[in-house]
């Protein structure tokens, strides 16, 4: 009837699932660099799972007209993670292939080995924990769902096909080990990917305001200057910020900085660079500017936006409002970034000397 021990066929299926899943996760690293749309990534994942299930069907245990394999493992897996839509998409290729093979158990093979795992997996799918493309699976919940599926499938197979109880138990065991293995692999990969993403964020961004830090800012502005793009540097800080902190507490002061960071993001155009310079000081690089008047108007508009925003307990400030002082450089494409920052800093100092809450453009006499 068959020349190899039963476990050989299912062990081979299990090894193939784990090996292809490993390759798929390695490919995921490359795909995530090229595709920033989580939905598109999930559709690609569904196509990969369909191919994986299709590949498993080339290595079946042939028994009295039946083709026994572990095709249901990846189909349940994708349905459990992404829901019925992805499950159905993944089932198309293995479904067509199984239909083309025919045989006395064609209907049972499609319903029990392809459609049923999609259905049960989708029933156990939880949208609340979905986090494309870094979903962390609840392994215990997934295994419970898979065991429910396997019990239903095994019962149907024993009732409708000539499969023996011992073979069904072997399939049950290897399928459960396979889905446990790929679930643990996915969780490990996603946790590592999220850790790398967090470290990358922390190395380039300020953790409180979520603005770029000065190191990242300088790297990006150097690129603009190297391409001879005219830029103007604007530096500003919060007037009497120490007074606000001492009066309202550091948490309230931190919230002011976060709000100003948000207002700053809303005020710059595409191509401009912003950063938290340090403490209550921020920096802007206006790109593709040729007129000092345009830069001054843009900076003045932002100054008014901050002044008009209603901050908590701002009436305790010496200016009554939370305000900012700004220093701006004349647009240039020939000066170094350090020179421009130095000029903007001098202009900022002049704004504070002249009474704060104003914009000053750098002059060589400063």
Task: Give the pLDDT band (50/70/90) at residue 135.
Answer: confident
The pLDDT of residue 2 is 46
- The DSSP line for 33-48 is HH---HHHHHHHHHHH
Q: How far apart (Å, rounded) are the C-alpha atoms in residues 217 and 211? A: 10
- Give the model confidence (pLDDT) of 313-361 as tens digits: 999 899 889 999 999 999 888 899 999 999 999 999 999 999 999 999 9
Span 113-137, mean pLDDT? 89
- Residue range 140-180, pLDDT digits in tens: 999 999 999 999 999 999 999 999 898 999 999 999 999 99
Would you name the residues annotated as active-site residues?
280
Largest CA distance in the chain: 97
Strand partners, 213: 276
Q: What's the sign of the alpha-carbon dihedral 117, 118, 119, 123?
A: positive
Question: Tokens 């967090």 belong to which residue?
Answer: 198
pLDDT band at 35 (very low <50, low <70, confident <90, very high): low
- Other Cβ atoms less than 10 A from the Cβ of 363: the count is 11
- Delimiting residues of CATH 3.30.70.270 domain(s) in the chain: 214-361
Q: Where in the chain is the domain with CATH 1.10.1760?
A: 6-204
CA atoms within 13 A on the CB side of 344: 31
Q: Distance from CA of residue 188 to its chain's centroid?
A: 16
Strand-pair partners of 274: 284
* Average pLDDT over every residue of 38-42: 74
* φ, ψ at 273 (rounded to 5°): -120, 140
339-345 long-range contacts, CB within 8 A, separation 24+: 340/231, 340/232, 340/233, 341/233, 341/235, 341/283, 343/233, 344/233, 344/234, 344/235, 344/283, 345/235
Helix then strand then coil, % of the chain, to nearest 5: 65, 10, 25
pLDDT tens, position by position, 4-15: 567 788 889 999
Radius of gyration of the chain (CA): 31
Q: Check if the beta carbon of residue 316 is closer than 8 Å to that of residue 239.
A: no
What pLDDT is stored for residue 208 in this prediction? 93
Choose among 58, 57, 48, 61: nearest CA to 21.
48
Q: How many Å apart are CA 136 and CA 253, to the nearest integer?
A: 36
Is domain 6-204 given the CATH code 1.10.287 in the classification? no
Q: Read off the pTM.
A: 0.75
Q: Closest Cα partner for 243 from 174, 322, 189, 169?
A: 322
Give the CATH number of domain 214-361; options: 3.30.565.10, 3.40.50.11890, 3.30.70.270, 3.50.50.60. 3.30.70.270
Collapse the DSSP code of 325 into the 3-class scheme (helix H, G, I; strand E, B; otherwise coil) and give the result.
strand
Distances (CA, A) of 306 to 136, 263, 309, 311, 335: 40, 7, 5, 9, 30
Distances (CA, A) of 356 to 153, 228, 304: 75, 33, 13
pLDDT in tens, 245-279: 999 999 999 999 999 999 999 999 999 999 999 99
DSSP state of 59: S
């Amino acid at each position: 009837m068959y020349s190899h021990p039963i476990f050989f066929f299912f062990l081979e299926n299990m090894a193939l699932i784990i090996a292809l899943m490993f390759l798929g996760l390695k490919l995921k690293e490359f795909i995530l660099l090229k595709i920033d749309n989580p939905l598109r990534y999930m559709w690609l994942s569904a196509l990969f799972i369909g191919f994986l299930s299709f590949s498993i069907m080339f290595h079946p245990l042939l028994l009295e007209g039946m083709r026994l394999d572990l095709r249901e493992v990846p189909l349940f897996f994708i349905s459990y993670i992404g829901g019925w839509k992805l499950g159905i998409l993944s089932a198309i290729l293995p479904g067509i292939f199984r239909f083309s093979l025919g045989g006395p158990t064609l209907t049972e093979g499609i319903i029990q080995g392809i459609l049923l795992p999609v259905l049960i997996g989708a029933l156990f799918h939880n949208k609340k924990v979905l986090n494309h493309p870094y979903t962390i699976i609840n392994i215990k919940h997934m295994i419970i769902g898979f065991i429910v599926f396997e019990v239903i499938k095994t019962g149907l197979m024993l009732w409708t096909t000539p499969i023996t109880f011992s073979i069904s138990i072997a399939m049950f065991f290897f399928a459960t080990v396979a889905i446990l293995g790929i679930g643990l692999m996915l969780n490990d990969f996603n946790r590592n990917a999220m850790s790398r993403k967090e470290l990358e964020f922390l190395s380039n961004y300020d953790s409180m305001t979520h603005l770029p830090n000065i190191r990242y800012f300088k790297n990006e502005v150097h690129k603009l200057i190297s391409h001879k793009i005219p830029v103007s540097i604007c530096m500003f800080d919060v007037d009497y910020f120490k007074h606000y902190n001492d009066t309202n507490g550091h948490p309230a002061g931190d919230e002011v900085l976060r709000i100003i960071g948000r207002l700053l993001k809303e005020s710059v155009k595409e191509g401009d660079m912003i950063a938290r310079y340090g403490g209550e000081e921020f920096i802007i690089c206006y790109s593709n500017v040729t007129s000092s008047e345009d830069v001054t108007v843009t900076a003045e508009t932002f100054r008014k936006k901050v002044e008009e925003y209603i901050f908590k307990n701002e009436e305790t400030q010496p200016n009554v409002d939370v305000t900012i002082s700004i220093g701006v450089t004349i647009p240039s494409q020939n000066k170094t970034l350090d020179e421009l920052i130095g000029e903007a800093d001098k202009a900022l100092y002049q704004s504070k000397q002249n009474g704060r809450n104003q914009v000053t453009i750098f002059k060589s006499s400063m």
